[in-house]
Structure 1
Amino acid sequence: MITVRKAQDRGQANFGWLDSHHTFSFGSYYDPRHMGFSALRVINDDVVKPGAGFDTHGHKDMEIISYVLEGSIEHKDSEGNIQTLPAGEFQLMSAGRGIYHSEYNASARHDLRFLQIWIQPNVFGNKPGYQQKDFGKQNGLTPIATPNGEKGTLQIKQDASLYQLILQPGQQIDFEVTNGRNIYLHQVSGKLTVGNTELEAGDGAKVEQQTKVSMANDKQEPVTALLFDLP
């Protein structure tokens, strides 16, 4: 079963310096029908004005992934990490027993756009951690985060995996689903055909009770999406 969440149906918060679209309930946006999916709790599509950003604030016991689509993030946290996260890179911050951080648009001229993703962990109270990596733009499914950090992936504290999907025009791929697992797709750019369903940029899809997910690019532009393999 595939259940689509259209981009235009997401929640929205606009504070002037920040324009954010929420796939799931977040902040002042609340919808009891959209509280998350399995361990996936937040997907926020954030656009931050030049020079603006999130002042220092805290998190606890949450796996927080940032994926930069345009621009770059200036990151600073209470564990001593001071990093720049450019477009195309992934960051995984394990909040553990508690961490404080700030995130700013590194540019004084151009907007920053990034996806902020929260995944609930399956272990709690650990020492906070920080990971960052560029996984390139290879066609097909590229593993980004896995429970064991295998093959150079980011290690996430949950029985969940995140993949980057890139398909060129005419390409297709199948993802085999382990019995009982849940799949969530978030469309980043282009149009992706999932079974008999078409996803556009910003759309999401829950895939439940299926043994395989068939994905194809039937259009003339490349496709980028994120695939979450969840408990």
Structure 2
Amino acid sequence: MITSRTAKECGTADFGWLQARYTFSFGHYFDPKLMGYASLRVLNQEVLAPGASFQPRTYPRVDVLNLVLQGSAEYRDSEGNCVRVEAGEAALLSTQANVSYSELNTRANQPLTRMQLWLDACPEHENPLTQKMTLPDAKHFLLASPDGENGSLQLRQNVWIHHLDLKPGEQISLPIRGPRAYLQSIHGQVDALGAVSHESQKLACGDGAFIHQENNLTVSASTPLRALLIDMPV
């Protein structure tokens, strides 16, 4: 089954220095039916004004994946770790108890646009506190996985995150390991077809789709498309 969640249905925020769209309950936006999906707790797209920052804050035990779409971000923690991430790069923070984290738009004249995901972390797994990768120029690559296969970022959870970059008319079929997955259009229009249900959903820019009990998904781009497929066996 494939069920769409359009960008217009998502929660929003506009604080001047921050503009945001929330797929799931976050901050002031609360929907008891949308507290996350399997181990995916947060899926936000946010724009920080030039020079703006999030002050230090603590997190639950999650892996925080930041995908920078425009600009430059700096992430610091109270232990002295720091990582700078430019457009076309991604960073993964393995949050720890009693450690606070901050985020800064390092550009004084350009907004910072990024996607942020929170994924529940297994209590018995530990990874490097910060990881970073440059996104390859590829139709499809593995952005994050439990064991860091093919140079992907390593998660503390059985989740596989696929990054798709398709031209108009291109399509790709991907196996889905678990009973649930989530497809997110970062930009572009896409048709998503499930192999079991044979259901198809059309997604526009910023739309997402809950995928349930499908063992394969065919993604077809009708415009230039950039998307994430988050495969969640748990």
The TM-score normalised by the length of structure 1 is 0.93
Instruction: Indicate the RMSD between aligned Cα atoms, in angstroms.
Output: 1.6
- For 1:16, the aligned partner's letter is G
Q: Which residue of 1 aligns with 2:196?
A: none
- Secondary structure of 2:8 counterpart: helix
Q: Is 2:230 the counterpart of 1:228?
A: yes
Q: Where does structure 2 lack aligned partners over 5 or more consecutive residues?
A: 194-199
| 1:168, distance to aligned residue in structure 2 (A) | 1.1
What is the SS of the residue equivalent to 1:110?
coil
Q: After TM superposition, list the pairs within 5 Å mapping 1:72-87 onto structure 2.
A: 72-87=72-87
8 Å Cα contact 2:126/2:156 also seen in 1: no
Instruction: Tell me whether 1:203 sits opposite 2:207 in the alignment.
Output: yes
Q: Is residue 222 of structure 2 the alignment partner of residue 218 of structure 1?
A: yes
Partner of 2:50: 50
Counterparts of residues 1-231 of structure 1 (less than 5 Å): 1-123=1-123, 126=126, 129-139=129-139, 141-178=140-177, 180-195=178-193, 196-219=200-223, 222-231=224-233
- Given that 1:97 and 1:127 are in contact with CA atoms closer than 8 Å, whether structure 2 keeps it comes out as no
CA–CA distance in structure 2, aligned partners of residues 199 and 51 of structure 1: 33
Q: Which runs of 5+ in 1 are unaligned?
A: none
112-121 vs 169-178, which deviates more?
169-178
**Structure 1 pair 218/94, CA: closer, same or farther in 2 (3 Å)?**
same
Q: What SS does the corresponding residue of 1:99 show, helix, strand or coil?
A: coil
Cα shift at 1:218: 2.6
Residue 128 of structure 1: how far off its partner (Å): 6.5
- Structure 1 position 144, deviation (Å): 0.9
1:124 Cα deviation (Å)?
Answer: 5.2
Q: Secondary structure at the match of 2:58?
A: strand
Secondary structure of residue in 2 paired with 1:210: coil
| 8 Å CA contact retained: 1:98, 1:128 | no
Structure 2 vs 1, CA of residues 65 and 98 (structure 1 numbering), >3 Å: closer, same or farther? farther
Counterpart CA distance in 1 for 2:214 and 2:186 is: 23
The percentage of counterpart residues that share the same residue type is 37
Q: Is the 8 A contact 1:93 1:131 kept in 2?
A: yes
- Going from structure 1 to structure 2, the CA distance change for 1:156 and 1:30 (only over 3 Å counts) comes to same
Number of aligned residue pairs: give it.
227
The SS at the match of 1:8 is: helix
Change (3 A) 1:13 1:218: closer
Residue 181 of structure 1 deviates from its aligned partner by 2.7
Contact 2:185 2:204 in 1 (8 A): yes
Tell me the distance in 1 between the aligned counterparts of 2:58 and 2:97.
10
